Structure 1
Amino acid sequence: MAYVTTADGVEIFYKDWGPRDAQPIVFHHGWPLSSDDWDAQMLFFLANGYRVVAHDRRGHGRSAQVGTGHDMDHYAADAAAVAEHLDLRNAVHIGHSTGGGEVARYVAKHGQPQGRVAKAVLVSAVPPLMVQTEANPEGTPITVFDGFRQALAANRAQFFLDVAAGPFYGFNREDATVSEGVVRNWWRQGMMGGANAHYDGIKAFSETDQTGDLKAITVPTLVLQGDDDQIVPYKDAALLQAKLLQHATLKIYEGFPHGMLTTHADVINPDLLAFVRS
């Protein structure tokens, strides 16, 4: 397995498939998952001739279960370490949920200054800010995220099952077709990571104000989200992202859930490819 060691000594696992001279598509996974969450997209883009790269965030998947650095700055710096190690250029960075926050911070702070990024994609992404504050009155109350922390600390395994079998994929909807394999795969990925990283990560994805990151991004950026996202309300995410970004293309999918990259890969993948080729 391939690893890169970051400046602060953390081993980050990554996958790197496809021709080395092809345009790189770099995938950033959501909380509390791993690069495996991108299987449907990585195989799709690989079949279309691209180089596909994805890493496990620190404390997640096969990366080191360190006790520190579970914040958006370190997430972005770790992504930069992978991009620099592989010398990825003209890359398209695609992030889902927390991974969307990672993409925004990476592109703004590392990728653009280094001239490595061609485009970005934010899918059901957490920026600009999830938590409710005086400046963000429409955000999600902090009590919701406190509830996440409490449930994780009390019984992480059951909490992860409940999330995957419920709101993440919209499997709690009355007309939903539930995939047991999808639920088990989400749980498997989550339980591979460290409880500490997942606990601290709740603060990272919910309380990090990324308004400045979005405003700083100058590359063309595709913003995708479903209007039945029960994890990240699209009116506080995709709609605001499109307003803050300098060169945004927005698409809202009717009835699609937070985990639409898995449940509706047949629709999302061609849209991603069209944007990459545009």
Structure 2
Amino acid sequence: MPFVTTSDGVDIFYKDWGPKDAQPIVFHHGWPLSADDWDAQMLFFLAKGYRVIAHDRRGHGRSAQVWDGHTMDHYAADASAVVQHLDLRNAVHIGHSTGGGEVARYVAKFGEPQGRVAKAVLVSAVPPLMVKTAANPGGLPIEVFDGFRKALADNRAQFFVDVPTGPFYGYNRPGAKADQGVIWNWWRQGMMGSAKAHYDGIKAFSETDQTEDLKAIGVRTLVLHGEDDQIVPIDDSARLSIKLLRNARLKTFPGYGHGMLTVNADVLNAELLAFVAG
């Protein structure tokens, strides 16, 4: 399997499909998943003639289960290691949830300074800041994330059943029809990774202030968010991010939840293609 070794010795697994001379699209997955969460998008864009790349974040999926470095800075640096290893240029970077935070920091700190990024997409993304602070009074209380940590430490396997069965895909909403395969696939991806990486990752995605990252991004950026997102509330994320980005457009989806890239892939893929090709 293809791996790249980072400067601090971490083996990062990646997929690289499609013609090497085609425009690259780089996908960044959410917590606690893997590159596999992008299957619907990678197959779609591959069929359209693009080169598609996705990696497993450190401690997730097939990447090395190191005990440290589970921070947004390391996530972005690891993504940069993959990009530089493959020498990707004119790339579109698309991130979901925590992966959206990874995209924001990567583009601001590495991608744009290196001249490697064409566009960016933040989908159901965590920036600018999830946790409630004096400067971010609309955020979620720290007790919410402490609850995540406790549930993970007490019984990670059950927690990773409860999240996709309930709020992640909106299957807890009246009239929603749960897809058992989608739930099992979420659980499978989560349990492939390291409990330590997942535990530390909660702090990374909830307490990292990315205000300055968003302000630094100059490339065209598309912000997509479901209006019924129970994991990353739209008012605390996308609606704030769009005010900080210099060259961005916000598209919201009534009734869609956090996992809309999977359960509403037909709609989201069409939106992504229009932006990438436009």
**Fold equivalence (TM over 0.5):** yes
Partner of 1:68: 68
The residue aligned with 1:268 is 268
The structural deviation recorded for 1:35 is 0.1
Find the aligned partners of 2:201 and 2:97 in 1 and give their Cα distance. Answer: 12
Encode CA deviations 1:156-204: one digit per residue, 9 max, x unaligned: 0000100010000000011111000000000000000000000000000
Q: What is the aligned partner in structure 1 of residue 7 from structure 2?
A: 7
Q: Which amino acid aligns with 1:235?
A: D
- C-alpha RMSD of matched pairs (Å): 0.3
Matching residue's letter, 1:268: L
The residue aligned with 1:202 is: 202
Q: 1: distance between equivalents of 2:141 and 2:231? A: 13
Dislocated runs of 4+, deviation >3 Å = none
Partner of 1:222: 222
Query: Aligned equivalents of 2:176 and 2:44: distance in 1?
Result: 25
Separation in 2 of the partners of 1:249 and 1:19?
29
Gaps of 5+ in 1: none
Equivalent position amino acid for 1:252 in 2: T
Match of 1:25 in 2: 25
What amino acid does structure 2 have at the position aligned with 1:79? Answer: A
Please give the alpha-carbon distance, in whole angstroms, between the structure 1 residues aligned to 2:234 and 2:243: 13
1:6-33 CA-to-partner distances (Å, cap 9, x unmatched) read 0000000000000000000000000000
Partner in structure 2 of residue 232 of structure 1: 232
CA distance in 1, matches of 2:164, 2:277: 32
Q: CA deviation at 1:152?
A: 0.1
Letter in 2 for 1:18: G
Q: Return the offset for 1:234.
A: 0.3
Measure, in 2, the Cα distance between the counterparts of 1:9 and 1:30: 23
1:225-246 deviation line (CA, Å, top 9, x unaligned): 0000000000111111111000
Using the TM superposition, give the Cα deviation of residue 221 of structure 1 relative to its aligned residue in structure 2, in angstroms.
Answer: 0.2
For residues 127-142 of structure 1, what are the structure 2 equivalents within 5 Å?
A: 127-142=127-142
Q: Secondary structure at the match of 2:14?
A: strand
- Per-residue CA deviations over 1:78-114 (Å, capped at 9, x if unaligned) read 0000000000000000000000000000000000000
Partner Cα separation in structure 2 for residue 222 and residue 235 of structure 1: 16
Distance (Å, rounded) in 1 between the aligned partners of 2:244 and 2:177: 36
Cα distance in structure 1, aligned partners of 2:276 and 2:115: 17
Paired residue secondary structure (2:52): strand
Q: Distance in 1 between matches of 2:113 and 2:61?
A: 29
Q: Give the TM-score of the pair, scaled to structure 1.
A: 1.00
- Identity within the alignment, %: 77
With the length of structure 2 as denominator, give the TM-score of the two structures: 1.00
